[in-house]
Chains A and B, each alone.
Chain A
Amino acid sequence: MNLSDIVAQQLVNGLVLGSFYALVALGYTMIFGVIKLLNFAHGDLYMVGGFVGFLALSAISGVVGGDWPGVFIAMLFAMIAVGCLGVVIERVAYHPMLAAPRLSILITALAVSLVLQNAVLGLTGGQYQAFRADLGFGGFDIGSLFIQHNQMVLVGTAALLMVALQLFVTRTQFGRAMRAVSIDKDMCQLMGINVPVVIAVTFFIGSALAAAAGTMAGAYYGSIWYFMGFLIGLKAFTAAVIGGIGSIPGAMLGGLVLGLLEAFGTQIPGIGSEWKDVFSFAVLILVLVLKPTGLLGKPEQERM
């Protein structure tokens, strides 16, 4: 393979990886926008999404088959179920803590993450679970570059979801309410916006996007396990920070940037794939230290 092939191949890999990161990062950034909370459990919602999607697909694959149509139906099911789970988590765990000190709510979020992980661990026994989708490996060549159909569908679906979200947030009245709540919650309350509903819907959408990513990742990589949300949660947070936390286009951009950075980073001599994760955490720390507002974020003062 010559250099341009490597570049093109890593571009494809980076886009696929970046789509997952972006979908999960969106939830982080939206939830941070409305209640200024880093939802540590967000990566675990991605994991639960993978499992719900798998269960749904197992139930329906006899009727619709295990190819993309079946995966899409399973994905929709997972999005609704995990979206509701996200709303429940917000009502049960985060809502009573909103007035508490920051440290308390962060630890609560951590506890929610542990509960989700260990619940799935208890139910599945901790083994890798084969995700029996039947996606096939067809594709086409561009020069010496081979692109799978799966990769196209995956990136396309992620893009579609992100465009839909962007339209929802910028073009609808509800989206306007969401943006308003992220600027000043108390003022919104005074203006007659139903803030708890806006927060609930934000949790629903954010969790549903993570679940979509979880189902697609399960189908694409072929296996799921209870701890798979941990690393992607960290990476997606990194992506959200790179893009500027609180900014929706920023999360999309950050996800793609991180995916591409990782894909190309592993090609640098001396940074093998075993250093891939160290590489992205180093990027996270560098961004936080050098430009904490990220690429598209606005400067913000700490709540006191």
Chain B
Amino acid sequence: MSEKNVVASRLYGPLSGVLVDPRAKWTAIVAILVLMAVAPMIFGQYATVILTNALLYVVLALGLNVVVGYAGLLDLGYAAFFAVGAYTVGILTLDFGLNFWLALPFAMVAAAIAGVIIGGPTLRLRSDYLAIVTLGFGEIVRFSARNLEITGKASGLSGIEQPWIFGWQIRSATDFYYVFCVLAIIAVVAAARLANSRLGRAWLYVRHDEDAAEAMGIDRVKVKLAAYIIGAIYGSIAGAFFAVNLGAISPESFSFTQSVLILMAVILGGMGKIPGVILGAFIVILGPELLRDLGPLRLLVFAVGLLLIMLFRPSGIWPGRSAAK
């Protein structure tokens, strides 16, 4: 165990060094921001769409990371919150003529309520029961979207209007790329601040030792519920922008596979660590693009990769320093 860690710290030492030294850290951040700003001009239209998708996954993975990485709860139905956000915006703008920016808070509230509904009664359960219940909940949401009139049944909703901002309509692929850049940056900053907050420390404590945490006066159900709600809000914001970006949503966008992909993004890079989760989101989106020649086998390669990572590097590819200990 310890020998492994020595090797790990040798391998990752230089990388974590960049994150610790404040000057190097800011240089890296500025470099990444500049790269994000000029990427559409360098890589062209197709790559911009893929990068937009990767940024969407960054937001989703950071949201799920709050639940799985911070609070240590396995959620296998995270796509449900993504769906709630997308459908709420779709229904409110299409059927009720609401402006996107007015519909967005409703989407967040709806997802938070969904988080309470699923979390409230189930957070007291054993961790593996919780995993299955969230899976069942994800499927209930998808089946409901497929069966209900208001969600457009199996064909879903289409013709969702693209939003206006300061008299400018967000319309082209590049516009949406920049919108998702902003979203991803907000998501990263919020996640970093959450991790360092009082609540973040409570999650850490509950994750490591639930009973000790409770003995120290932390209400574990309340703390876990907070993780659920925050994760749900992240998912709903991603879903809302996903809906206006594509203009059409259908139940199959929110399947179990979607939940698993988001979960893979969280685990591959390094659960609980923001740089790791971002890396994971990019691997999940760019990896299949790069492996496209393999056809249907690419998912198999991915699944085997996930298995190998769990067996040999259970804390992820880039776990950060505290996780390696």
A in complex with B: yes
Which residues of A from 16 to 58 have beta carbons under 8 Å from B? 37-38
Closest chain-A Cβ to B139's Cβ sits at a distance in Å of 6
Query: What residues of chain A lie closer than 8 Å to B131, measured between beta carbons?
Result: 38, 106
Binds A, one of B121-129, B164-172, B231-239: B121-129
- Taken together as a complex, chains A and B put the C-alpha atoms of A97 and B227 apart, in Å, by 27
Closest chain-A Cβ to B303's Cβ sits at a distance in Å of 4
Q: Cβ of B143 and Cβ of A102 under 8 Å apart? A: no
Taking a contact as CB atoms closer than 8 A, the residue among A96, A111, A122 that contacts B306 in the complex is A111
Q: Cβ of B303 and Cβ of A114 under 8 Å apart? A: yes
- Count of chain B residues near A, Cβ 8 A: 40
Q: If A103-B72, A112-B307 touch, does A281 touch B136 (CB 8 Å cutoff)? A: yes
Which residues of B from 270 to 325 have beta carbons under 8 Å from A? 296-297, 299-300, 302-304, 306-307, 310-311, 314
Closest chain-A Cβ to B80's Cβ sits at a distance in Å of 12
Closest chain-A Cβ to B30's Cβ sits at a distance in Å of 35
Closest chain-A Cβ to B115's Cβ sits at a distance in Å of 15
Q: Is A213 an interface residue (CB 8 A)?
A: no
Q: Is B68 an interface residue (CB 8 A)?
A: yes
Query: What residues of chain B lie closer than 8 Å to A84, measured between beta carbons?
Result: none
Closest chain-A Cβ to B189's Cβ sits at a distance in Å of 26
- Taken together as a complex, chains A and B put the C-alpha atoms of A274 and B256 apart, in Å, by 18
Q: Cβ of B129 and Cβ of A107 under 8 Å apart? A: no
Q: Cβ of A234 and Cβ of B136 under 8 Å apart? A: yes
- Count of chain A residues near B, Cβ 8 A: 42
Binds B, one of A73-81, A192-200, A282-290: A282-290
Q: Cβ of A118 and Cβ of B300 under 8 Å apart? A: yes
Nearest to B129 among chain A residues (CB) is A288
- Taken together as a complex, chains A and B put the C-alpha atoms of A118 and B127 apart, in Å, by 26
Interface of A is mostly: helix
Closest chain-B Cβ to A86's Cβ sits at a distance in Å of 16
Q: Cβ of B135 and Cβ of A126 under 8 Å apart? A: no
Q: Is B31 an interface residue (CB 8 A)?
A: no
- Taken together as a complex, chains A and B put the C-alpha atoms of A234 and B133 apart, in Å, by 10
Q: Is B147 an interface residue (CB 8 A)?
A: yes
- Taken together as a complex, chains A and B put the C-alpha atoms of A38 and B126 apart, in Å, by 11
Taking a contact as CB atoms closer than 8 A, the residue among A234, A274, A289, A302 that contacts B135 in the complex is A234
Q: Cβ of B314 and Cβ of A93 under 8 Å apart? A: no
Q: If A281-B137, A281-B140, A285-B133 touch, does A102 touch B127 (CB 8 Å cutoff)? A: yes
Taking a contact as CB atoms closer than 8 A, the residue among B133, B140, B304 that contacts A288 in the complex is B133
Which residues of B from 100 to 132 have beta carbons under 8 Å from A? 121-122, 125-129, 131-132
Binary flags per residue of A267-294, CB closer than 8 Å to B gives 1, else 0: 0000000110110011011001100100
Q: Is A100 an interface residue (CB 8 A)?
A: yes
Closest chain-A Cβ to B152's Cβ sits at a distance in Å of 15
Q: If A96-B311, A102-B128, A108-B310 touch, does A277 touch B296 (CB 8 Å cutoff)? A: no
Q: Cβ of A97 and Cβ of B260 under 8 Å apart? A: no
Q: Which residues of B contact A (CB under 8 A)?
A: 68, 72, 74, 76, 121-122, 125-129, 131-133, 135-137, 139-140, 143-144, 146-147, 211, 256, 260, 263, 267, 296-297, 299-300, 302-304, 306-307, 310-311, 314
